[in-house]
Amino acid sequence: MRNLWLYTLFFCTALALNAQTPEKDTEKPIDSISSNMLLKQIGNGFFPTKLWNFDLRYLVKFNQYEGFRTGLGGVTNDSFSKKFRIDSYGVYGFRDHRFKYKLGGGILLNEQTKSWLNISYIDDLMETGSSNFMTDGRTFSFFEPRLLNISLFHKHITSAISLEHEINPKLITETEVAISNIRPTYDYQYVLDNTPFGSFETTIAKIAVQWNPFVEYETKDGKTETTVDGYPKFTMQYSKSFRNVLNADFNFSKLDFRAIHKINHNKESHTIGTLSLGLAHGDTPLTHLYHAYPNNINKETILNRFSVAGINSFETMFFNEFFSDRFATLVVKHYIKPFHITSYFNPQLVLITRYAVGNMNNISRHQSVNFSTLKSGYTESGLEINKLLLGFGLSFTYRYGAYHLPNEEDNLALKFTFNITL
């Protein structure tokens, strides 16, 4: 079983990352501080050097289209310059035998408002149906479970210019104008005015706002650090594609919204909910529509579908099963107080419910692909038992409601969970 072999490989990698050699009590305090700073940087996804911080996201990954994907990338640090930065990477996919890369950089316009003007040129892949917020910046995880099983990608060559601006530490914005040449890696045509488009170009302007009204900050030595991680948090993003501007083929708009709220019951128990909304209007190809972050492999048995659970993904929803031009999802997780069995063994039970609803206009425009919509509402519930062994745990999820499947086994998802903090 190839998937099981892959998860075993990542399991061993995670153990190596988690292992730490105890230091002697005579270690100098400065060494301890340096070690803690290094661990913090690695936990954020960077390995720092004198002038360049290597981005650990590009070292090794796996997906169904590229197979193993490996390379190097990163960004210059303050020792290189506090007013200029270079942000680039290069990777290679061993299954598609193709190099991908990014050439980018930025200039600091205003230090007080952390205003950066960035430019980039990217030749890479993107998951079809994914929708990311620009203000999220970079996200890093030692192990990205969904990535292993994604098969629907589109190639894109994108030139972009963007502006980051902090109105205040609780309110940040980012705007971007990007020109893209897009070619799906799968058989697909979008039919508009009786003309099929197997590849196309877009010119898209975006503006995103991140508002964290209850987060408290403290500024030391010119650096802002969070002292109270307050909730709720809100993110909104508007995108507009302009037809016939710089040879663009389609005219459409998108509005995305996300709210995250956390309720602390005590120091060891809390509930967190994530509400996501998306609306696409106009002539929107499948590449720019929405899935609901499915995370179930299209294989027959539970053992063949065995994988690792994501954070907010739908564990019983099969990849490429649903697409929407308007959708809403709600994910609620309740973290019960850990079971303090020993000083080193403290598993935690998490109760989970996920709901998604959506629909699509002009489905017939999307040719050579088969999918359903979420108009009847999709529901799954389950539980996780985390931190059983070195960050690993187990997840069990059940699919029910309008999209309950005739074969009972197809409604079940049994998976690993992985949580690690440096």
pLDDT in tens, 215-268: 988 877 667 777 888 999 999 999 999 999 999 999 999 999 999 999 999 989
- Greatest alpha-carbon pair distance for the chain in Å reads 76
Structural domain boundaries in the chain: 2-418
pLDDT at residue 31 in the model: 56
DSSP letter string over 73-113?
Answer: EEEE-TTT-SSEEEEEEEEEETTTTEEEEEEEEEEEEETTT
pLDDT for the residue numbered 422? 53
* pTM listed for this prediction: 0.86
Residue 201 is predicted with a pLDDT of 97
- What pLDDT, on the 0 to 100 scale, is given for residue 18? 38
Portion of the chain with pLDDT greater than 70, in percent: 87
* pLDDT confidence of residue 57: 86
Instruction: Give the pLDDT score at 12.
Output: 40
- What is the pLDDT at residue 147? 82
Phi first, then psi, for residue 331 (nearest 5°) are -120, 125
- What's the rounded Cα separation, in Å, for the pair 354 and 274? 10
Helix (H) or strand (E) holding 168, with range, is strand 153-168
Per-residue pLDDT, 23:
40
pLDDT (0 to 100) of residue 137: 72
2-418 classified as CATH 2.60.40.420: no
Question: pLDDT value at position 228?
Answer: 85
Residue 151: predicted pLDDT: 87
- pLDDT at position 243 is 95
Please list the ranges in the chain whose pLDDT falls under 50: 1-28, 30
Which of 385, 372, 382 is CA-nearest to residue 412? 382
CA gyration radius for the chain? 22
d(C-alpha 258, C-alpha 293), whole Å: 14
